[in-house]
Amino acid sequence: MTNPPSTGAGASAGLALVAELWYPEAPDLGDPALLAALRAVRPGTEQQEGSLSVPHPLADPELPPLVTVVLPGSPLGQEGKTLPDVSQTWAWADAEAAVAPCRSSVLVTEVLAAGRTAAERVTSLGEVVAVLVAHTAPRALHWARSQRVSDPATFGAGDLDGVINVRMVGDARDEDALAMDTLGLHVFDLPDVQCHFRDREPGEIAELLFATAVYLFDTGDVIEDGNTISGTDGEGRYVCYREASLLDPARLVLDVDLGEPWSAGRRDRTA
C-alpha cells in the first residue's frame, strides 16, 4: 500500500473528539454576543482565561457533565503547526482554496467524556461547533481524528460527515486495486470499516463503507466475523471479517470482502 500502518498498539482508547475551525484572522472568543449565543444553548457556559467552557448535563446523574472546551489554536509554525491536509477530503472540491488564506484556528474539544455514548459526545461537540460557525464564520472545519476538512456551510449539530471520513489510496503493488476505509469510529472504541478491491466504482464503495460505519455508530460493535452486509442498493451480500488495518492509524477494523472477482490483496483474518 502507499500508506502502510506503523507497528505498535492500536490508537483508540482515550481519544477526545476534536474539531478545529480555521480563519484568515482569529475570532474574538471574548465577544459578548458569542457568549450569549452559547448560553442560549447551554446556560452554564463560562469564559476562562481566553477560553470557553461549555458543560452538557446528560442523562446519567451519576456522571459529571461532559464539557466542551473552546480555545485558541497554536500559531502556524509553532511546534510544526501547519494548515490542514486536504488530501483525504473527497466531497468538497473547494477545500484547498478555503484553507489556503487561513492563518488562525480555534480548537473545540471535550473533557469528562468517559462513560458517555458516542451520540452524546458528537451531539455535545456539534452544538458548540454550530454556534461558532454561525457567529465567527470560519473558512473550514478540520476533523483531525478522521483526516477530513469540511465546509462550514453544510455543517449541522449531530452530523457525522466529518466525525467519520472515507479515505482512499492506491495499491503500489497492484495498479488496478484500491484500498478504502473509514476513519473516526476508533475514537469511540468501535471498528472502522475497510475494503480492498478492484473493478468497482469508488463512489459505490465509499457509500457502502460510510453507511456501515453509521450503522456501527448507531448500534455499537454488533457485526461479528463472518456476518454479511448488503450493498446500499439492497443487492449483493458481502462477508465481513476483523483484520489489521491496511492504513494508519494501526487498529483492528472490519474488512468488507466483496468476493471474486472484486476482492484484492491477501486477506489477513483474525479468526
Instruction: Write down the pLDDT at residue 206.
Output: 95
pLDDT tens figures, 184-221: 999 999 999 999 998 888 999 999 999 999 999 999 99
- 252: region left, alpha or beta (phi > 0 left; psi from -120 to 50 alpha): beta
Instruction: Write down the pLDDT at residue 49.
Output: 86
Are 244 and 189 part of one and the same domain?
A: yes
Instruction: Write down the pLDDT at residue 174.
Output: 67
Are 125 and 198 part of one and the same domain?
A: no
Taken in order 263, 165, 153, 105, the sign of the CA dihedral is: negative
Domain limits for position 52: 18-154
Average pLDDT, the chain: 89
pLDDT at 172 over 90: no
Q: Which of 88, 122, 154 is the last residue of a domain?
A: 154
Instruction: Write down the pLDDT at residue 1.
Output: 43
pLDDT at 125 over 50: yes
Are 136 and 22 part of one and the same domain?
A: yes
Instruction: Write down the pLDDT at residue 157.
Output: 83
Question: Taking the chain, what is the end-to-end CA distance rounded to the nearest angstrom?
Answer: 23
Pick the more confident residue, 6 or 41.
Answer: 41
Strand order in the sheet with 237-244: 165-171, 174-183, 192-198, 252-257, 237-244, 228-230
Task: Band the pLDDT of 13: cuts 50, 70, 90.
Answer: very low
CB 64 within 8 A of CB 57: no
Number of domains in the chain: 2
Q: Which of 154, 174, 208 is the last residue of a domain?
A: 154
Residue 84 lies in a domain: yes
Residue 209's SS3 state is helix
pLDDT tens figures, 73-124: 998 888 889 999 999 999 999 999 999 999 999 999 999 888 889 999 999 9
Are 26 and 147 part of one and the same domain?
A: yes
Are 150 and 24 part of one and the same domain?
A: yes
Residue 62 lies in a domain: yes
Break the chain down into helix, strand, coil percent, rounded to 5: 25, 30, 45
Taken in order 258, 259, 264, 267, the sign of the CA dihedral is: positive
Cα atoms found within 13 Å of the Cα of residue 63, Cβ hemisphere only? 17
Residue 89 lies in a domain: yes
Are 38 and 143 part of one and the same domain?
A: yes
Whether the predicted model's global pTM rises above the 0.95 cut: no
**Residue 123 belongs to a domain with what CATH number?**
3.30.310
Are 124 and 194 part of one and the same domain?
A: no
C-alpha cell at 61: 446523574
CB 47 within 8 A of CB 82: no
Are 25 and 150 part of one and the same domain?
A: yes
C-alpha cell at 110: 471535550
CB 121 within 8 A of CB 59: no
Instruction: Write down the pLDDT at residue 252.
Output: 93
CB 54 within 8 A of CB 111: no
In this structure, of 46-50, 147-151, 263-267, the range with the lowest mean pLDDT score is 263-267
In this structure, of 16-25, 30-39, 223-232, the range with the lowest mean pLDDT score is 223-232
Task: Band the pLDDT of 5: cuts 50, 70, 90.
Answer: very low
Instruction: Write down the pLDDT at residue 259.
Output: 80
Are 104 and 201 part of one and the same domain?
A: no
Are 132 and 55 part of one and the same domain?
A: yes
Q: What is the separation of C-alpha 229 from the centre of its chain, rounded to a whole number of angstroms?
A: 22
Q: Which of 154, 181, 209 is the last residue of a domain?
A: 154
